[in-house]
Amino acid sequence: MEKDFGMVSIVIPVHNAEKFIIPAVDSIKNQTYTNWQLILVDDGSKDNSGSVIDGLAKDNDRILAFHTLGVGAAEARNLGTTHSDGRFLAFLDADDLWAPEKLEHELFYLTENDGAFAFTGYEFADEFGVGNGKIVHPPKTLTYKEALKNTTIFTSTVLFDLDKLTKEELMMPKVKSEDTALWWRILRSGVTAYGLDENLVIYRRAGKSLSSNKLEAVRRIWNLYRKVEGLSLIKSCYYFVFWGYNAVARRV
C-alpha cells in the first residue's frame, strides 16, 4: 500500500514547449506516488503550448493551467508556487522527464532524513529524451559552502517540504541562473540539502538552450558569486575554480 506523505504540488513553466509538454506530464501521471497536483504555467508561448495545457487541465481536475505574458521562468515558477496547495513542492522543466518512482523514492528519503530540501541524480539525454548513459550522482548532503563549489542540484530533481520552508522562501529571484541562486539562498540560511543517489530524472539538452551555452553559463555563475552572494574577488575565484572543474566533470 502506498504511504501517503501528503500532496505534492508540481510546478512546470512552459514556454514554446508544445512538442515536449505531453511526455513531461505523462511522466507525472505515471508516478507510483499518486497524491499530486500539477500546476502548468504557460509563459507567453508563440506555439500551441497554451492550448495544450488548457486541454490537459480540462481533462484532469488535478491539473491547473495559468498563463503569463513572457515574464520568464523564475516568475512563472513563482506564480505556480503561489497557487500550490500541497505539503511538498517540486519543479519539473517542460522538456524533462521523471522516472515513475521519482516522487515515491524522494519522499521516503526526505522524510527519513527529516529534511526540508532534497534532490536526486539525473541523466543527460538528447532532444528525443534518450539517455546517453552520463549520470550525475549527487552527494549525500550538501551545505552552502559545498554548493558554491558544485552546482550539482538540477531543477527538475528538487523537492521541498513546505512544513519546514515557506512559499516566500522558495520564490526565485529575478536573476540569471535563478534556480541556482535559490538553492544557495536556502542553504545559506542553514538548511542542508539531501541528495538521493538514484537516477530518477532525464535531462534533455537541446543544442541552443541557455544551459548548453558554456560561455553564458560562466558569466551567470560569476555574476551570482559577485553580485548576488556578494563574495570578494578572491573568494569568487576560489569557488569558481571548483565550480568549473565539477561542471566539466559532469559532462565528460
The pLDDT, as a whole number, for residue 252 is: 55
Model confidence at 209, pLDDT cuts 50, 70, 90, reads: very low
Report pLDDT digits (tens) over 138-188: 999 999 999 999 888 999 999 999 999 999 999 999 998 999 999 999 999
What is the structure's pLDDT at 127?
A: 86
Q: Is residue 232 part of a domain?
A: no
Q: What pLDDT is attached to residue 244?
A: 82
Q: Is 224 within a domain?
A: no
The rounded distance, in Å, linking the Cα atoms of 33 and 9 is 12
Domain housing 114: 8-207
More confident residue, 187 or 243: 187
- Domain-located, residue 252: no
Q: What is the CATH number of the domain that holds 150?
A: 3.90.550.10
What share of the chain has pLDDT > 70, as a percent? Answer: 94
Provide the domain count of the chain: 1
Packed helices 233-251 and 214-223: angle between N→C axes, nearest 10 degrees: 150
Report if residue 74 sits inside a domain. yes
Q: 76 to each of 57, 65, 182, 215, 247, how far by Cα in Å?
A: 17, 11, 14, 25, 27
Note the pTM of the prediction, 2 decimals.
0.92
Q: How many residues does the chain have?
A: 252
Residue 168 falls within a domain, yes or no?
Answer: yes
| Residue 213 belongs to some domain of the structure | no
Domain assignment present for residue 41? The answer is: yes
The predicted structure's pLDDT at residue 1: 52
**118-136 pLDDT, tens per residue?**
999 999 998 888 888 999 9
Phi first, then psi, for residue 39 (nearest 5°) are -120, 110
90 lies in some domain: yes
What is the per-residue pLDDT across 1-24, written as a single tens digit (0 to 9) for each? 578 999 999 999 999 999 999 999
- Torsion, Cα 55 57 58 59, to 10 degrees, reads 90
